[in-house]
Amino acid sequence: MKKSLIRDAIIAQLRAELARQTTAAHLARDEAISEESRAENKYDTHSQEAAYLAEGQARLAGEIEASIAHYTAMPLPDFAPGDVVALGALVELETRGGGAWYFLGPRAGGLELDVARHPVLLLTPQSPLGRQLLGRRAGESVRVPGRASAVEHRIRSVT
């Protein structure tokens, strides 16, 4: 699986989310400054709440823009057999049903991608599984958190 396809999928999802957040921020801003939102008494906080919402959505849009910039500029290192997991690694874990793919990136952890008909989960080094994977090699095991308890999985490959 090509890591450039993974990066393209990440950026595409982030751009779609940026468009949604930007639209939501504009709508909330328009609501905050609307004549209809003007306070009717000292207890009417509708416009103030809309302004806070617009500010939060604008801040989130800024974070998404920063994530896009990180992934656009991120080098995609090639990992040789025996190399340790680091940022930019595509890791396959051995599971009961075959294999599960994880990409270790700098931001936007939790994104679920579909790359060449393979599900790939985006992890960051700050996530519990990301912390466990850092510095490990193919053949070593990690404990994947689950609903009932953590399950040991062997690292099948690091690319």
Give the pLDDT band of residue 12 (cuts 50, 70, 90): very high
Please tell me the distance from the alpha carbon of residue 26 to that of residue 42, in angstroms, as a whole number.
26
Q: Lowest-pLDDT range, 25-34, 35-44, 130-139? A: 35-44
Please tell me the distance from the alpha carbon of residue 13 to that of residue 42, in angstroms, as a whole number.
42
Q: What was the pLDDT predicted at 147?
A: 65
Q: Lowest-pLDDT range, 15-19, 88-92, 114-118? A: 114-118
- List strand residue ranges (DSSP E) for the chain, in order: 90-95, 98-104, 112-115, 118-123, 141-144, 151-158
pLDDT tens for 58-108 read: 999 999 999 999 999 999 999 998 899 999 999 999 977 778 999 999 999
At the top level of CATH, which class does the domain 90-158 belong to? alpha beta
pLDDT at 30 over 90: no
Please tell me the distance from the alpha carbon of residue 36 to that of residue 48, in angstroms, as a whole number.
13
Residue 80's closest CA among 92, 89, 72? 89
pLDDT at 42 over 80: no
Give the pLDDT band of residue 35 (cuts 50, 70, 90): confident
Terminal C-alpha separation, the chain = 9
Please tell me the distance from the alpha carbon of residue 85 to that of residue 133, in angstroms, as a whole number.
6
Q: Calculate ∠ Cα 49-54-59, nearest 5°.
A: 125
The tally of CA atoms less than 13 A away on the side-chain side of residue 157 is 11
